[in-house]
Amino acid sequence: MTVWTCRTCAVERPDTPEPPATCAICSDDRQYVRPSGQRWTTLAELAAEGRSGRLEEVEPGLLGIRVEPSVGIGQRALLVRTGAGNLLWDPNGYVDDDLEAAVRGAGGVAAVASSHPHMFGAQVDWARRFDAPVWVQERDRGWVQREDERVQGWGETHEVLPGVTLHRVGGHFPGSAVARFTGADGGTVLLTGDTVAGTPDEHWVSFMRSYPNQVPLSAAVVRRVADRVLALGPERLYDNFGGCVRADASTWVARSAERYVAWVRGDFDHLTGT
């Protein structure tokens, strides 16, 4: 049988003789099915097409993992390195022996977790290679597409490794989460996926129900998400596509939430010419 990977989101599916008829994640209104229809692939097929992974330093103690050409949504996974093992966050939808070897050289993987279901990627394949648990927020447990004994649930907060905690903040998905740890310089770092997404200027952030379909969240939800993030005291913030806030992250999250709320409340309607 074959482990199938959705071409659009790169989330793995169970071993079956034939691929599923639909991808539950892409059929949801936060994602999409391409006009060409549902398409599936495998890790072997992706490898044959010339995929490869590489590691890059994001900051001391934090590595990015990119796959080129990109697979599915194309997220950059992040590897939090600690003395007690490494957390693989928002795992890529592709892994091969060479990428596994590179990650082993950086200390391996002691735990796998994601900000939300769009980022599940090849989480079970990664976990099997490193004999690691996969931690899934309980409110999003039903979105797991490939079950495995390594998949475990967690509640509102969970210390996944000593000094590395997962926190549910909601918004994009009910179980949307961030990972918090202390950087090498002593500053508080948050990994936010696109629960809180960076902008090109490395200052502002945004909050959405659906990024590809451009569906916003309400003002009330954005305030609650921002309050939960601010309670964690972030000094730096990294999302899942290379976006970041390199300094004063709490200040910029607060400003961004206020800007968002003001626009959806209608404070700036006079600027729209309508």
Identify the CATH number of the domain in which residue 119 sits.
3.60.15.10
Q: Give this prediction's pTM.
A: 0.97
Question: Which amino acid belongs to residue 139?
Answer: R
Long-range CB pairs of 242-248, under 8 A, 24+ apart, other chains included: 242/64, 242/76, 242/198, 243/197, 243/198, 243/199, 243/200, 243/202, 243/205, 244/198, 244/202, 245/198, 245/202, 245/203, 245/205, 246/202
Domain that residue 259 falls in:
2-31+51-151+158-271
Query: Within a domain: residue 43?
Result: no
What was the pLDDT predicted at 1? 65
Residues paired with residue 198 on neighbouring β-strands, in sequence order: 205
pLDDT, tens only, 227-242? 999 999 999 999 999 9
Query: Within a domain: residue 11?
Result: yes
Non-local (6+) Cβ contacts of 135 within 8 A are: 111, 112, 113, 152, 153, 154, 158, 160, 166
Query: Within a domain: residue 66?
Result: yes
For 243-265, what is the mean pLDDT? 98
For 161-169, what is the mean pLDDT? 98
CA 201 to CA 274: how far, in whole Å?
29
C-alpha 62, offset from chain centre: 15
For 197-202, what is the mean pLDDT? 96
Residues paired with residue 39 on neighbouring β-strands, in sequence order: none
Query: Within a domain: residue 179?
Result: yes
CA 80 to CA 71: how far, in whole Å?
22
Query: Within a domain: residue 38?
Result: no
Task: Count structural domains, the chain.
Answer: 1
Query: Within a domain: residue 196?
Result: yes
Query: Within a domain: residue 46?
Result: no
CA 31 to CA 25: how far, in whole Å?
7
Query: Within a domain: residue 42?
Result: no
